[in-house]
Structure 1
Amino acid sequence: MPRPTEQNPYLPHSPFCSRGSTLFLYRSFFKEENRMEMYVISVILASSLIIPFTLKTFFPYLWVDISYFGDLLWILVRFVSRRRRRPFFFVLDRFLEQTAAHPDKPFIVFENERYSYAYTDKRSNKTANALQAHPGYKAGDTVALFMGNEPAFLFTWLALAKLGSPVALLNHNIRTKSLLHCFNCCKAKVLIAASELKDAVEDVLPSLTEQGVTVLLMTKHCNTPGIESFSDKVDEASDAPLPMSLRSHITFKSPAVYIYTSGTTGLPKAAVVNQNRLLIALAVLSSNGVMPNDVFYLNLPLYHTAGFIVGFIGSIETGSTIVLKRKFSASQFWDDCRKNSVTVIQYIGEVMRYLCSTPKRENDKDHKVRLAIGNGIRADVWREFLSRFGNIQIREFYASTEGNVGFVNYAGKIGAIGRVNFLHRRLFPYILVKYDTERDEPVRDANGLCVEAPKGETGLLLSKITDIAPFVGYAQNEEQTEKKRLRNVLKKGDLYFNSGDLMRIDKDNFIYFQDRVGDTFRWKGENVATTEVSDILTICDCLKEANVYGVQVPGHEGRIGMAAVTGKEGAQFDGSKLYKHVVSYLPSYARPRFIRVQNAMEVTGTFKQMKVKLVEENFDPGRIQDPLYILNDNEKSYVPLTAQVYCSILSGNTKL
């Protein structure tokens, strides 16, 4: 046995200890030490099992919350860093960074053509130089873009950004009165239109000419007086970079784009998206896990927030490749994804339902798509989509073009539009308040303040207007801007943005979209303003009044248009004439599918048209005594809606 030393002081060295007792104490000491080690190891092992189990049981979303907070913090740091750069840093500058980093990488894939970042940059330079040389334009003028989904749309927007011009993104489906309204409310000096929209431009040309508007058509030849060809000028222009001085006047508060949204009343409104908001929007894809090597499938309209901001602007930040499609096609969707090795898709609720409604194939799961980003997917469609097309991560989110609050369902809870938490609420204060659907207004207490909806109950989403979460409003429409502001919500003098959406928050802090309030309903991914449709219907010389509303159809997202109408004295209902009228004036999604002919229009005591009962009665001929008609494209008329046709719609045999 070793003797006690200074280096080994734990051995017994008392003169009173015998050799046997020394050995006994030595063994006892190390046996006790082993017990302590085993105890510590046992505690550690038990903790490693119990703590995760406890956290998963009582805090099941802790880790995804922490991960999301990390992403949110990184986004804020990057945003603040960019805000501090001088000269000012905008979305265009991020595109130029990506071009410098990988000039030969494909940026846009369209049909059978590929356009690199460098080509896109040079083509936008040519477009900008051609426009700058035109006498009807000067740098900084607002320009309206009237085009469908094609590379020229993206080239032209980048060109206008280089020239320091705000851009109004016109819906290429609108015509006549709506087209003129949308053009005028942004005070554009120039209209650039796609060649296939020449007829639509000619319909409003007299008014544009009278205003001195420069009209350019993306074609090499045009014989119409007042409309000039533009593609030929672009081809001949220099691809030299534009000087930064052309956009030196731009600040973060300067308008970048005008995106049109149908509100609760009237014609479309131009929501002002300023440079600051667009800079924030850069993070929309990167914050959801999109990487530079991803291929993004963009088949939603570029004039929409979803297509333009999420798809186009989001891809500029990530440096991804965009596969651009003219329009959504359920039958071609997955073949396109396979052909182009798409990894990220975008959706609105109807897109997912349409995909699930296509005939099943053996190769439904044969693709590289790993992520789907969008909003408006129903829980049942969500489950069906995953079951049929494989393990695709779905990132459902909530946002609006003009709104100042958004939510992201980063935890993947089926059916939820997002998850609420303390940090999010501190940065973007919001509240759900009780809402009176009959009176169409928030419920207020005796002090005139809004009443908060308890957790688990449906309430109207209101978001506080702050410096971090501003509400810019609508161009040339202070009345509608003011209608979206709600005052005296939680205390006298406060100011909130009225989303117009009814929400519910569950016990696990997931938030769910319930419905829209007011006169707007959503069909095929588009907002339909009932007042606008009513105005169009009453122009028809056989109708006196029209009360437009949305009704639900089993198996369909949103609400489809229906109108209760009264005829002019002595006039008979003419289905063919009305069909021709709505097709001429309204895009397909806004055309009332059902018509209910009444003898008199029901109104409230304040002469507001009553909708609640009409919505409840739906389009059921068994409940409605009034004559009912359905829009029939084959017969180009509104034809009687029979019980047989009604049953066919409910069964899904008749497609809407």
Structure 2
Amino acid sequence: MLVSWLAGLGAGLLGLHVVQKLLFPYFWDDFWFLLKVVRYGVRMEVYKRRGELVTVLDKFLSQAARQPHKPFIIYEGDVHTYRDVDRRSNRVARVFLSQASLKPGDTVALLMTNEPDFVHVWFGLAKLGCVVAFLNSNIRAHCLLHCIRTCEPTALVVGADLLGTLEEILPSLPKDISIWGMKDSVPQGVISLQEKLSMSSDEPVPRSYHVATSLKSTCLYIFTSGTTGLPKAAVISQLQALKGSSGLWAFGCTADDIVYITLPLYHSSGSLLGIGGCVELGATCVLKKKFSASQFWNDCKKYNVTVFQYIGELCRYLCRQPKREGEKEHRVRLAVGNGIRSDVWREFLDRFGHIKMCEFYGATEGNICFMNHTGKIGSVGRTNFFYKLFFPFDLVKYDFQKDEPMRNEQERCSPVKKGEPGLLISRVNTKNPFFGYAGSYRHTKSKLLFDVFKKGDVYFNTGDLMVQDEENFLYFWDRTGDTFRWKGENVATTEVADVIGMLDFIQETNVYGVAVSGYEGKAGMASIILKPQKSLDLEKVYEQVVTSLPAYACPRFLRIQEKMETTGTFKLQKFQLVEEGFNPLKISDPLYFMDNLKKSYVPLTKELYDQVMLGEIKL
């Protein structure tokens, strides 16, 4: 009797397992991942109820006390232990406390490339309770000035390799900002932080300087292109920093992992997910000054890397490298990042071995993220009933001609059906707040949608179009508005248009992104109208964009038009231009291509076009 009963139970369980695999193939993947998310949320709630507001800095100090001799940062062969970073950041805090009289809540701007001192200065200032503004190290001139003025810093710290960039704008900086350089010999008007550090104490400053009174308090400004032109300073709260630093843990990384970071630390991926993620785990990171496709795998083998961070372009560059023997002989098991195309994903796995690609989606300032915990190729993540309870979002119909969400007769938005592209919007509430941007509220308001499904509701507009399939996997489809992505960076079209518009022979400029075969994102293209009786100077256009814009923002193509179409709200029409692309056989307007060897734009012939499309000319 017992035997038959056990046999029946076994058969029943087997049947249930088969049904689950057929009807709910991702049930257990979703269950364990959701359980992990809930567990993290419960842990934070317990801290809160105890009155212990633990921040990323607090977690670093805990790691430094628990494992002082463990390597935290490996940079160009040099090892910086948790204790080393703690002590040097103490020196930074001591210098600014005594020399600059900084106090909790003051903002300090940081203009540095990837190096250990980026982390030392960041953590040192955090120990004083300061808000640190990460400046994009690629920007210059008026754009850099704009960013500095936006965050209204008390002080500005500049890396040794960027002091030349600083000299261009030094006379235009506000007089009340103290400027510090990470070099012994600095320009006039700049204080040598390097010199001060050599004489400073490494004794810790009192914890009272940085104790958090609320997880919603601001700890960072991270600049993002947004959709209104010049970069905006996204407000990063202690809570957002904590959530960002949990990403590696959520994907299954551990304290034993060695994480390779080649992404810039001024981006949230490099700083919060990367550095913050290693702090959360107590892991080691290998920090690279700049990504190098030729050195990548050598570095991974040399330092026994087990996890690396990526953007889609990075993986494509690696796949384009000449094949070598032993490409699968490494210890990398996970890659965490976003923006990898499905074909590159497959090629990458075929060539470099079984590496779990942990794709995720999330905007720096956004209140929604997705994580592809199953490894489904092409997807940015999954959703289900329970996920939407914690993180409410919708995909709504979008009007591509008007460049705005569709509204029905009742002025409400409508969700799209599964399989259809829709604008991703996320509900703003106390559990999922949107902290917005520094400065004018209009920047924050521009990212919000009001009265979406009912009167009084508020949603964050991601500006991204997504598709949800029948299995509830989510896929990135495209970007909307005045921003497109190229070389892993967001390019604000209005910023580029403003730079080109400074030329005295330009009447109007419309900038947009066009798809190019074999490339992630979209390459920049500018449609231009000349002023009456003025002629086009291609060398001047080239000089203007190269000297005023980061390399990734320079338009690769120009189109000369006699008039431009506008929308009903008088916005420049981009939809048709994007659709037409840059094919000289389909476009009668004059087209030009950016030639870096000739330092000019040159006519885009059919031969040049074919070379670009075949990948014979690199963009």
Larger displacement relative to structure 2 (76-85 or 339-348): 76-85
Q: Find 1:314's aligned residue among 272, 277, 283.
A: 277
Residue aligning to 1:63: 28
Whether 1:482 and 2:441 are equivalent positions in the alignment is no
State TM-score, norm by structure 2.
0.98
Quote how far apart the aligned CAs of 1:572 are. 2.1
Residue aligning to 1:130: 95
CA distance in 2, matches of 1:360, 1:132: 53
Indicate if the aligned counterparts of 1:136 and 1:214 stay in contact, CA closer than 8 A: no
CA distance in 2, matches of 1:508, 1:50: 22
Letter in 1 for 2:182: M
Larger displacement relative to structure 2 (259-268 or 45-54): 45-54
Q: Secondary structure at the match of 1:81?
A: helix
Structure 1 residues 69, 608: CA separation in 2 closer, same or farther (over 3 Å shift)? closer
Q: Find 1:344's aligned residue among 289, 300, 307.
A: 307
Whether 1:102 and 2:67 are equivalent positions in the alignment is yes
1:72-471 equivalent positions in 2, closer than 5 A? 72-86=37-51, 88-135=53-100, 137-208=102-173, 210-222=174-186, 224-248=187-211, 250-471=213-434
1:523-562 equivalent positions in 2, closer than 5 A? 523-562=486-525
CA distance in 2, matches of 1:37, 1:190: 78
Indicate if the aligned counterparts of 1:79 and 1:280 stay in contact, CA closer than 8 A: no
Letter in 1 for 2:519: H
Structure 2 stretches of 5 or more lacking a match? none
Letter in 2 for 1:79: M
Residue aligning to 1:10: none
Q: Secondary structure at the match of 1:469?
A: coil
Q: Secondary structure at the match of 1:548?
A: strand
Q: Secondary structure at the match of 1:350?
A: helix
Q: Secondary structure at the match of 1:276?
A: helix
Letter in 2 for 1:215: I
Q: Secondary structure at the match of 2:58?
A: helix
Residue aligning to 2:613: 650
CA distance in 2, matches of 1:114, 1:201: 30
Quote how far apart the aligned CAs of 1:48 are. 4.3
Larger displacement relative to structure 2 (454-463 or 531-540): 454-463
Q: Secondary structure at the match of 1:391?
A: coil
CA distance in 2, matches of 1:583, 1:367: 39
Quote how far apart the aligned CAs of 1:651 are. 0.8
Indicate if the aligned counterparts of 1:429 and 1:463 stay in contact, CA closer than 8 A: yes
Larger displacement relative to structure 2 (198-207 or 172-181): 198-207
CA distance in 2, matches of 1:547, 1:282: 38
CA distance in 2, matches of 1:401, 1:157: 18
Residue aligning to 1:493: 456
Residue aligning to 1:581: 544
Letter in 1 for 2:216: K
Q: Secondary structure at the match of 1:185?
A: helix
Letter in 2 for 1:190: A
The CA RMSD measured in Å over matched residues stands at: 1.4
Residue aligning to 1:23: none
Q: Deviations over 1:326-355 (max 9, x none)?
A: 111111111110110000011111111111
Indicate if the aligned counterparts of 1:144 and 1:192 stay in contact, CA closer than 8 A: yes
CA distance in 1, matches of 2:251, 2:212: 33
Indicate if the aligned counterparts of 1:75 and 1:287 stay in contact, CA closer than 8 A: no
Structure 1 residues 480, 556: CA separation in 2 closer, same or farther (over 3 Å shift)? same
The number of residues matched between the two structures is 619
Quote how far apart the aligned CAs of 1:38 are. 4.6
In terms of Rg, which structure is larger?
A: 1
Indicate if the aligned counterparts of 1:132 and 1:139 stay in contact, CA closer than 8 A: no
CA distance in 2, matches of 1:533, 1:108: 36
Quote how far apart the aligned CAs of 1:85 are. 4.3
Indicate if the aligned counterparts of 2:402 and 2:567 stay in contact, CA closer than 8 A: no
Q: Secondary structure at the match of 1:174?
A: coil
Quote how far apart the aligned CAs of 1:86 are. 3.7
Structure 1 residues 70, 135: CA separation in 2 closer, same or farther (over 3 Å shift)? closer
Larger displacement relative to structure 2 (335-344 or 59-68): 59-68
Q: Secondary structure at the match of 1:133?
A: helix
Q: Deviations over 1:126-160 (max 9, x none)?
A: 11111212146445421000000010000000001
| Percent identity over paired residues | 49
State TM-score, norm by structure 1.
0.92
Quote how far apart the aligned CAs of 1:281 are. 2.3
Indicate if the aligned counterparts of 1:629 and 1:638 stay in contact, CA closer than 8 A: yes
Indicate if the aligned counterparts of 1:140 and 1:247 stay in contact, CA closer than 8 A: no
Letter in 1 for 2:183: T
Letter in 2 for 1:454: K
Residue aligning to 1:18: none
Letter in 2 for 1:273: I
Indicate if the aligned counterparts of 1:373 and 1:396 stay in contact, CA closer than 8 A: yes
Quote how far apart the aligned CAs of 1:640 are. 1.4
Q: Secondary structure at the match of 1:501?
A: strand
Quote how far apart the aligned CAs of 1:83 are. 2.7
Larger displacement relative to structure 2 (306-315 or 80-89): 80-89
Structure 1 stretches of 5 or more lacking a match? 1-35
CA distance in 2, matches of 1:109, 1:632: 38
